[in-house]
Amino acid sequence: MTAVEGRHASHFPCSSRDRQYSSSIMCSIDRLLQKDVRLGLRPIPHFHFSAMASSLLYYLLLFFLLLSTNVSGHRHHSHHRRAPVLPGDGGDVSAAINLACRASRFPDLCESALSSLSSSLPPNPAPADLILAALAASSDGTKTARATAEDILGASASDLNRTAAARNCLEFLYLADHRVGVASSALSAGDLAGARLFTGAVALHQYDCWSAYKYVSDTQQVVDAMAFLSDLANVTGSAASMIAALQRYGANTSLWAPPQTERDGYWPDVAAATPPPEGFGAGVAGSCFSGNPDATVCKEGGEGCDFTTVQSAVDAAPVNSQQRHVIYIKEGVYEETVRVPLEKPNLAFVGDGMGKTVITGSLNADTPGVSTYNTATVGVLGDGFMARYLTFENTAGPDAHQAVAFRSASDQSILESVEFLGHQDTLYAHSLRQFYNTCRIAGTVDFIFGNSATVFHDCLLVILPRQLNPEKGESNTVTAHGRTDPAQPTGFVFERCTVNGSEEYMRLYRSKPAVHQVYLGRPWKEYSRTVFINSHLTEIVRPEGWMPWKNDFALATLYYGESGSDGPGANVATRVPWSSQIPAEHLGVYSVENFIQGNRWI
């Protein structure tokens, strides 16, 4: 893997009326589709690039000085107003900045950025004022980065890879610009968890842009853009760290310190009413979806069909609707690339069953001008996405490297009884909050990856043969989580899942088990976080459990936890020393309710 991301339908009782859409559409979406739609978003990366970052700090400071007047002039917007629910604790502006920036892992950069905005701050700034100022700086910095990406795109007509990188950057920075407004609004409303989540998403997309440039950094213009983005993302990350400190210590900024993780012995307070393990999967069991689909897709067309492609049904869906829009996709193999844009929230794909309704593609990262992010057969940005009873597939094959079947940056997305088929990088759980229930996910290397906060409940994780000549053996990893900053509340939680091999893989494994090695995960980024709870680990899981990425990278900062699993691969006595057993009293941290606030939207 490389670095480069109307629930109020017409109500009818579930009856024979529904059978006109096929037997499997009846009751196809449960009460999840009937609740009021709630929109939201998520947190993320840090990365340190000492070479150009220090040289660009001066220019970044000049940038913030230039934009401070603009920030002051826009304080009437909702994402710049003060949050009265978060009072300050006194002191002048410079002292307040100094104390608040103690929460940052980059205190000097944080102080420089906020000091340049001091004229826009009130005399006695509350913590929220300082965080909002940092978010305002991030927003304006994002706009500057977008303008630079436009310039790079214009200068790269003869370079296919640089053109693709610039286009990806424009998408990432568009998303960052959107998320920063949501983060600011959440903070102003006193929603600290949401503000932290969304602030991390802003930094993630800024990092994504940096990462896209990393492979085409053959011009000074791109090098300078990367240096600017590195500092900008760290300013945004400082805002996330300040929100984390506000959550932990309260408004007394003299107590603030950089964020810590489970590896440091820090466990956040959780709702006492959530008893592990019963808290996992709460609200999953659904009831019938009462109503007809809003659109029907049929491979061959015909009576009762509105569209012959999934993308055309998505294109016709309402823009920025707060109502659930259900697209029923009849049985068939749909060979197409599907994109659900940010402006199309609350879409639901419902098929006729795994293996019956199949959306398939074959894009892979070995193709010039195609990054891992672009390889997805189905890519979703619109929040509140749902899918049920279908298969997402990438057929690129085991020798094609990165080839994504499904990518989601959709906050509060739910996928149930969905199959994901691929090899390397099958499921890109890119960002924000996601929930997968009773799904089947198959692949070889890092086949579940990303930097989202995701819970996988009762899912089957299937290892496939990795190579064209698999008899010689291989090392496969189920996960590669990409958390880059301890302020990000992201991670992968697997609860009541099973890790097993396909029939072909099991035949190979049993013929020569020593050369066919399966690990639960490896750390893609420095603060990678993955836990397996109450799961079944078959004999293919190595006794060590977890695999390093390279040498000792991230081994002191990651968190890989286990609790209550069974099966021959679940013997914790032989685990690597840098993995952990989750204390029983802290299991509630990883419940659906606490980890992804699922009780609000599932």
Query: How high does pLDDT run on average in the chain?
Result: 85
**CA separation for the pair 184, 190 (Å, rounded):** 10
| Higher-pLDDT residue of 98, 39 | 98
Q: What average pLDDT does range 291-304 have in this prediction?
A: 90
pLDDT band at 273 (very low <50, low <70, confident <90, very high): very low
What is the number of H-type helices and E-type strands within the chain? 10, 24
Q: How does pLDDT run across 382-419, given as a tens digit for each residue?
A: 999 999 999 999 999 888 899 999 999 999 999 999 99
Task: State yes or no: is 446 an active-site residue.
Answer: yes
Sheet holding 378-380, edge to edge: 338-340, 378-380, 406-408, 427-429, 445-450, 474-481, 516-521
Q: What is the pLDDT of residue 467?
A: 77
The label of the residue with tokens 């823009």 reads 319
Q: How does pLDDT run across 546-591, given as a tens digit for each residue?
A: 999 999 999 999 999 999 999 999 999 999 999 999 999 999 999 9
**CA separation for the pair 406, 404 (Å, rounded):** 6
Q: How does pLDDT run across 125-137, given as a tens digit for each residue?
A: 999 999 999 999 9
Q: What is the pLDDT of residue 66?
A: 39
Distances (CA, A) of 483 to 43, 115, 408, 522, 576: 9, 29, 16, 12, 20
Provide the H-helix boundaries in 101-159: 107-115, 127-154
Q: What is the pLDDT of residue 271?
A: 58
**pLDDT greater than 80 at residue 515:** yes
The label of the residue with tokens 């420095």 reads 526
Structural domains in the chain, sorted by start: 7-34+289-407 (2.160.20.10), 50-262 (1.20.140.40), 444-602 (2.160.20.10)
Residue pair 443/425 in contact by the 8 Å Cβ criterion = yes
The label of the residue with tokens 């070479």 reads 51
Residue 255 in tokens: 């107590």
Angle at 87 (CA atoms; ends 81, 93), nearest 5 degrees: 75
Q: What is the pLDDT of residue 270?
A: 79
pLDDT band at 58 (very low <50, low <70, confident <90, very high): very low
> Residue 494 carries which side chain, given as an amino acid letter?
F
Q: Other C-beta atoms within 10 Å of 345: how many?
A: 27
**pLDDT greater than 80 at residue 146:** yes
| Higher-pLDDT residue of 147, 292 | 147
- Strands (DSSP E) contained in 298-346 are 325-329, 332-335, 338-340
Q: What average pLDDT does range 210-238 have in this prediction?
A: 96
Q: What is the pLDDT of residue 282?
A: 38
Q: Percent of the chain, pLDDT > 90?
A: 76
Q: Other C-beta atoms within 10 Å of 556: how many?
A: 9
Q: What is the pLDDT of residue 289?
A: 52
Angle at 353 (CA atoms; ends 347, 354), nearest 5 degrees: 95
- Nearest to residue 559, comparing CAs of 357, 264, 341? 264
Q: What average pLDDT does range 535-544 have in this prediction?
A: 98
Residue 576 in tokens: 């690597």
**pLDDT greater than 50 at residue 34:** no
Catalytic residue among 18, 411, 446, 458: 446
Residue pair 237/485 in contact by the 8 Å Cβ criterion = yes
- Nearest to residue 208, comparing CAs of 249, 175, 252? 175
**CA separation for the pair 271, 586 (Å, rounded):** 11
| Higher-pLDDT residue of 55, 159 | 159
pLDDT band at 473 (very low <50, low <70, confident <90, very high): confident
Q: What is the pLDDT of residue 194?
A: 93
> Residue 493 carries which side chain, given as an amino acid letter?
V
**Which residues are 268's β-sheet partners?**
none
Residue 571 in tokens: 């013997």
**CA separation for the pair 157, 179 (Å, rounded):** 30
Q: Determine phi and psi for 411, rounding to 5 degrees.
A: -70, 145
